[in-house]
Structure formats: C-alpha cells, structure tokens
Amino acid sequence: MNTDKAFAEKIAADYAPKKTSKVVALRKLDQKAKLTPTVFAYSFGVVSALLLGVGMCLSLKVIGDGSLWQNIVGYVVGSLGILGVAINYPIFKRFLARQKQKYASDIIALANEIAKE
C-alpha cells in the first residue's frame, strides 16, 4: 500500500468543500438555541458567587478595616450574592425555554424532513 497516496488523499479531503447534512444543521440549530442561556447562566453564577465571597470576607473582617459600616456592607453584598445564586437556575430554565420556543419551528421542520427520508 502506498502511504504517500493515502496521506495525499487525507490532506485533499481536509481541503475539499464539505457538504453539510441535515443532521449537522439540526445539531447546530440545537446548539444555537442552548448556547446563549448556558453562557448567561455560567456568567451570572460566577458573578453571584464572587459577590457572595466578597460579602463573606467583608462581614468576617478578612478584608477591610473591620468597621461596623463594612460589616453591614458585607451582609448586604453577601445577601445579593446568595440571591443571585438562588435565582440563577430558574432564570436559566426560563431563558432556555424562550430560546427553544424561538427556534422550535425551524428545528421541528428540519427534524420532520430528516424523519421522512
């Protein structure tokens, strides 16, 4: 077997124009519907967890000068962080449902097209 020929065919296949199938298009639509809510949920969760951590550090006098004012600010910031962490999942589910509803007609039409073949 000629390995040079096989190598050349492999390289040529990498540069040849690719024909996208309907299944790939369906997968891309599904990923497009889920990407924005997922990125939002991770970002919002990280920011909320950081707020919770900063609030804890302020209230436990790890950072700052330990005054009563900073202690109160720590409680408020930590409470906002807890609230953000607590509502992150319900926000994600609602956002995901809205995105699925937005792309539902295209995804269902393409899925039915694939099923009929």
List pLDDT tens digits, range 84-108: 999 999 999 999 999 999 999 999 9
pTM for the full model?
0.75
Q: What is the pLDDT of residue 1?
A: 56
With cut-offs at 50, 70 and 90, classify the pLDDT of residue 16: confident
Q: HEC states along the chain?
A: CCHHHHHHHHHHHHHCCCCCCHHHHHHHHHHHHHHHHHHHHHHHHHHHHHHHHHHHHHHCCCCCCCCHHHHHHHHHHHHHHHHHHHHHHHHHHHHHHHHHHHHHHHHHHHHHHHHHC
With cut-offs at 50, 70 and 90, classify the pLDDT of residue 47: very high
